[in-house]
Amino acid sequence: MATAQVVLSNDRVEVLQAQLGEWQNLNHMLVCKATQQAVVIDPFDAHFWFDVAATRGLHLTGAWLTHSHWDHAKGVEEALEMGGEGFEVVVHEAEAERGWDGPHTTAISCAPLVATALQVGDLAFEAVRTPGHTPGHLTFLGHGVIVSGDCLFLGRCGRADLLGGDPDALRASLTHLRGRMRNLPEDWLVLPGHQYELDDGSNPTVLTVGALLASNAAFAALDDDHAWNALPFLAFDDDLATRARRDRAQRG
């Protein structure tokens, strides 16, 4: 049975992480300790997170989507129903380019690599548009954490061959994130959208910025065209890729 683990806690913020579903999905909850308000990022299971909030005496006020793939937005409709009036669901409007028309209350419209401010209680976070995996992918930064969704994993990056994906845009997004991370404290935590085994055989769900900068294969390839194009995880020959090719053909 899934449980929510505290991955960061200080006098201002608490961050919880849980692996839900069959695709190693990692969900995250950001908690403002001063107000006891919280948001969940990429809710796979709304009931799970509302139960976590109730157990901890928190008010779950919204859900933020890194992107709109089914395994990240599965719990959104249920969360809106459970949250009632005032519950906010944030997504980037460019996700409509890949055909997503799911429920939301707030559509961010910033350009690629530009940040929009979001609030959790008294805490301010940045939602940076980091396209490439999807057109409107968002990465959330603030208060010691980077929630990177499927743009950046701990050992590599997300794929760019699905509908709305773009390897050049992904490379630009990763270059931007690498630059941002080089100017952050090395003990900030990177929280990805999936748990995947690293090349050394370890299987963490979180890494420090310092550790990721030193070991991430996608970051290491960014400055060399041959190395970037040779990365094996930018595209896969699987059912998802077949469906993406069919969808692109149907769209003309």
pLDDT band, very low/low/confident/very high, at 237 (cuts 50, 70, 90): confident
Residue 247 has what pLDDT?
Answer: 56
- The mean pLDDT of 231-249, rounded to a whole number, is 67
Domain covering 5-250 in this structure, CATH number: 3.60.15.10
The per-residue pLDDT for range 110-151, each reduced to its tens digit, is: 999 999 999 999 999 999 999 999 999 999 999 999 999 999
Q: Count Cα neighbours of 50 within 13 Å in the Cβ-side half-sphere.
A: 15
pLDDT band, very low/low/confident/very high, at 249 (cuts 50, 70, 90): very low
**240 or 42, which is more confident?**
42
The Cβ of residue 155 has, within 10 Å, a number of other Cβ atoms equal to 21
Residues 6+ positions from 214 with CB-CB distance below 8 Å:
none
- C-beta of residue 218 within 8 angstroms of C-beta of residue 230: no
Residue 236 has what pLDDT?
Answer: 77
Res 160 pLDDT > 50? yes
The Cβ of residue 85 has, within 10 Å, a number of other Cβ atoms equal to 4
- The mean pLDDT of 83-103, rounded to a whole number, is 95
Residues 6+ positions from 202 with CB-CB distance below 8 Å:
none
- The mean pLDDT of 64-92, rounded to a whole number, is 96
Over the chain, what HEC string results? CCCCEEEEECCCEEEEEEEECCCCEEEEEEEECCCCEEEEECCCCHHHHHHHHHHHCCEEEEEECCCCCHHHHCCHHHHHHHHCCCCEEEEEHHHHHHCCCCCCCEEECCCCCCEEEEEECCEEEEEEECCCCCCCCEEEEECCEEEEECCECCCCECCCCCCCCCHHHHHHHHHHHHHHHHCCCCCCEEEECECCCCCCCCCCCCEEHHHHHHHCHHHHHCCCHHHHHCCCCCCCCCHHHHHHHHHHHHCC
Residue 2 has what pLDDT?
Answer: 85
Res 241 pLDDT > 50? no
Residue 16 has what pLDDT?
Answer: 98
The per-residue pLDDT for range 12-46, each reduced to its tens digit, is: 999 999 999 888 899 999 999 999 999 999 999 99
- Could you tell me the CA-to-CA distances from 224 to 2, 153, 175, 229 in Å, in that order? 40, 20, 12, 9
The per-residue pLDDT for range 179-232, each reduced to its tens digit, is: 999 999 999 999 999 999 999 999 999 999 999 999 999 999 999 999 999 999
The per-residue pLDDT for range 64-74, each reduced to its tens digit, is: 999 999 999 99
Residue 133 has what pLDDT?
Answer: 98
Residue 21 has what pLDDT?
Answer: 86
Res 252 pLDDT > 80? no
